[in-house]
Amino acid sequence: MCKLLNQNILITGGASGIGKLMCEMALDRGIGKLVIFDIDKIKLAEVVNQFKKINQNVFGFVVDVSNTNQIIKTLQIVKKKIGSIDILINNAGIIIGKNFNEHSHKEIDFTLSINTNALMHIALELLPEMILRGSGHIVNIASAAGFVSNPKMSVYVASKFAVVGWSDSLRLEMERNKTGVHVSTVTPYYIDTGMFAGVKTLIPILKPEYAAKKIINGIEKNKIFIKMPFLIKLLPLFKGLLPLRVFDFVVGDLLRTYNTMNNFTGRNK
């Protein structure tokens, strides 16, 4: 079991959505220090002021996680002024929902820099101290899209496939080398935070409170994969057993997953 009591936690994208909810839940469990990374300066200031009423040891940093140099410099400040991080929750992410041929090169690079590369760079900066002290937990928010292809989200899917593969490879390395560092990969279905506004699906969209609670509970139990809802647990099995065209029929035609992004609007900005 991974106890959150007195642990120092860093959550990226922590000023809104499930990031903010996880911050609240972590504070309720009596963590030591909370560090929040977010690009939205106004929202970040609001949540830091709100959370300081619960715990004075809350620190917010305006960080563009698509900028590797900014990540490195900010984490150097964190380690010097705040101390070591026991639990990292790589939560920040974006989606640009459109057909692949409609993407610009800039959109491709931007999506991968936030959804994939940033997770690796942040983890790489924090891992040495975790390994040195023989403890730590890295939590990577991927997606069910890390298992299943889907039209109008090809670049997002690519970014999440990469996270799933990297995150679990990291877990194996940490276990094989007996570092004491745990790694959890989170693969939720669509979450109703506004990020996927306009999505239409037969499978119920997850409530943010439910998703955040499942993640925090999964961290406490040192779960390797945190999948939600239950159907997502069966995806790798179905994909492995069914011929591709049959899988396409079940997922695409019966569950109509391949049409979920048809009316996607996303957030206004």
Residues annotated as catalytic (active site), given as ranges? 156
Cα 199 to its chain centre, rounded Å, is 19
CA angle 75, 76, 80 (to 5 degrees): 115
3-state secondary structure of 168: helix
Q: Which residues contact 24 (CB under 8 A, 6 or more apart)?
A: 51
Q: Which residues contact 172 (CB under 8 A, 6 or more apart)?
A: none
Closest listed residue to residue 166, CA positions, set 152, 191, 183, 144: 183
The span from the CA of 179 to the CA of 173, in Å, is 9
Strand partners, 206: 191
Q: Going by DSSP bridges, is the β-strand pair 136-141/181-188 parallel, antiparallel, or unpaired?
A: parallel
Q: What are phi and psi of 156, to 5 degrees?
A: -60, -45
Contact 160, 227 (CB under 8 A): no
Exposure string over 229-264, b if 16+ CB within 10 A, otherwise e: eeebeebeeeeeeeeeeebeeebbeeeebbbbbeeb
The span from the CA of 25 to the CA of 29, in Å, is 6
